[in-house]
Structure 1
């Protein structure tokens, strides 16, 4: 089981590396890692389990965050209608996106960042993501709102990019033109 002691923090070199593709069909070892990533985000959202194991709540986790530089991520998040997006994917990739931008009014956080980093993080309002599930089956997701932002945040981890790399350094709360503000 992944706990906070397994999650590396900003400054660790793995977080700035581009992660390697996972061979499909995946190995049992890669499947186990993917399963553990999803297990963490689900466990961290359960108040009893999170308290028992000292887990910081998270809605997404990427393999580089546990010092495994491979293209794997897990997301467990609900959209504004309450629909659950619970996915663990190998080699996820954004294959199309909207011109329109979106951002979280509260800003973004990260399990690998132990401090608050205020500011708006511009993201695409809608994305289509393609990846492979734990059994090596292709998955294609059309996402908008919070799920779209979470997938972009986690895919950034696979490319060595941290969320705060997108924040305007001179004016962190500068309005993003024609962007949808998403409350969380």
Structure 2
């Protein structure tokens, strides 16, 4: 991996709360961005990262995580479209979720236990990624980022306030340690 580690965009920064623009050029610039995204995700010990989490408002995310059968999946999705099960096929997983852009706290968040993303690889070839378990959660979480949503936007008001309070406390502690 040759990418540069970039700072993670934190909750409250405008680029994180606005829908991202479609990628129009599948070129060296996109490849370099994806390399930086993987480097930044690994440095932050994450399992997924959307471009706006490093300040770039483009519809692209990377992931490296396990599915429900503990199989490893690693890749990039450009201009993805998320498809979720409906009706009788829809089962929810109410696991814990966190975010590199809200470092520290986790909260229970029900999401469908399966997800599919249709999109493109970095060369512009059509791809489909189907996920279960953590991979399904990751596909949904990163797709939300591309729409300008952070996972805490899906929480109840009380749960969101609790997560933000914990986040602010941890941030204040880190700042005090670094002072």
TM-score (norm 2): 0.78
The 8 Å contact of residues 91 and 132 in structure 1, kept in 2 or not, is answered as: yes
1:87-166 to structure 2, matched below 5 A, reads 87-99=75-87, 100-105=90-95, 107-118=96-107, 120-166=108-154
**Matched residue, 1:70:** 58
Pair 68,168 (structure 1): closer, same or farther in 2 beyond 3 Å: same
CA distance in 2, matches of 1:171, 1:64: 24
The 1-side partners of 2:122 and 2:92 are apart by 30
- Verify the 8 A CA contact 2:20 2:52 in the aligned structure 1: yes
Please provide the CA RMSD for this pair: 2.0
Q: CA deviation at 1:104?
A: 4.5
Say whether the 8 Å CA contact 2:81–2:117 is kept in structure 1.
Answer: yes
* Aligned-residue offset at 1:112: 0.8
Q: Which has the higher helix share?
A: 2
Distance 1:30 1:101, change over 3 A: same
Gaps of at least 5 residues in structure 2 are: 161-179
Runs of 4+ in 1 over 3 A off after TM superposition: none
User: Which ranges in structure 1 are unaligned for 5 or more consecutive residues?
Assistant: 45-54, 173-184
The 1:2–1:155 alpha-carbon spacing in structure 2 relative to 1, beyond 3 Å, is farther
Count of residues paired in the alignment: 156
Match of 2:21 in 1: 20
Q: Deviations over 1:86-116 (max 9, x none)?
A: 01111011134344242353x2111111241
Q: Is the 8 A contact 2:84 2:112 kept in 1?
A: no
